[in-house]
Amino acid sequence: MNTFLSTSMNLAIAKIFAGNGSDRLQRESVLFEIILDTNKRRLLDPYNLTIATTLNNIGMLYNDMTEYLKALQYYHEALDIYEKALPKNHSEKAILYKNMGDVYCYQKDNQQANEYYHKSMEMGITTLPDKHSSFVRIYRALVKLYLDTYNLYDALKFFLTAIDISKLFFDTFYLDISDMYNSVGFIDSYKNDLSKALDYYHLALEMNTKRFPIDDLEDVNIYNNIAMIYFKQCNYFEAIRLHHKCLDIQLNATTLLRDREIMVGSYWNLALAYSKSEQNSEALDYFQVALAIEENIFSFRSSISQETSSNDKYYKNCL
């Protein structure tokens, strides 16, 4: 390791010298640890914002490594410097509060996560331009928290706000917009607002078409969700058509045996739709294909039993 270059406080440079191996996260954090040796840090300027930025970066790395206590330790050290060196309200604090909220969210401490996410949002409102791109990440963090706590009303509200802002920064967030539309559709479906759910699923599909002109694996989840709406509406013909579309995309894109696990769901869905439409012969065919794949993938019969138990009554009706 080049000792001189490895002590750079520039995150991009540190990542270059960390390499691209499977241990990349650990190696990056080691580079930063060399920079911020605890004893030496006491000799540094306590108002040094570069040190605070690096502490924040270390916290992010530990968060990615699921070492949440260490992540919080470095975030709090960064916050101490920000409190001394920055005005009471500053955008850097907003970002740091969001990062701290993420840690608490991953730890399932929803109360603390909610507190820090709202601190981040409130500080962002006072320090950032209206509809700044940073709000997308803050709002999406709040959405995850609200979904975890089954607060669907607030989850929808912040999802839709995040989508509106994302459209203003399309080049940055175009990969996320279809995912957010799909998630909004899923929430509406859960609320049994099937018409709205279909609208958002089609928006997600339209956005995906701009990303991938030809049907791609990214479309499978959306087609499946649309099919499930038709299933709920007892429109089994449309459900079957779309589940076949999902399966065709997967068959064209999937070659390795270990990847075929993702196709089992499509076979089950087709079997269920055929069963509900009283086409038992076709249903039985797809049930048997699904079982054959699962037997080939899973080494223990108990795994197969768990996967199939919820659909067992439909399978027996086809025999």
Closest by CA position to 319, among listed 269, 279, 281? 281
For the stretch 262-295, pLDDT in tens is 788 899 999 999 999 999 999 999 999 988 888 7
Contact 14, 32 (CB under 8 A): yes
pTM score, whole prediction:
0.74
Query: What is the C-alpha separation between 120 and 114, in angstroms, rounded?
Result: 10
Residue bearing the bigger pLDDT, 7 or 95: 95
Element (H, E) at 112: helix 110-127
The angle formed by the CA atoms of residues 241, 202 and 149, to the nearest 5 degrees, is 105
Cα within 13 Å of Cα(216), Cβ side? 11
pLDDT at 96 over 80: yes
Quickly state the pLDDT bin for 154 (edges 50, 70, 90): very high
Quickly state the pLDDT bin for 16 (edges 50, 70, 90): low
Cα within 13 Å of Cα(136), Cβ side? 17
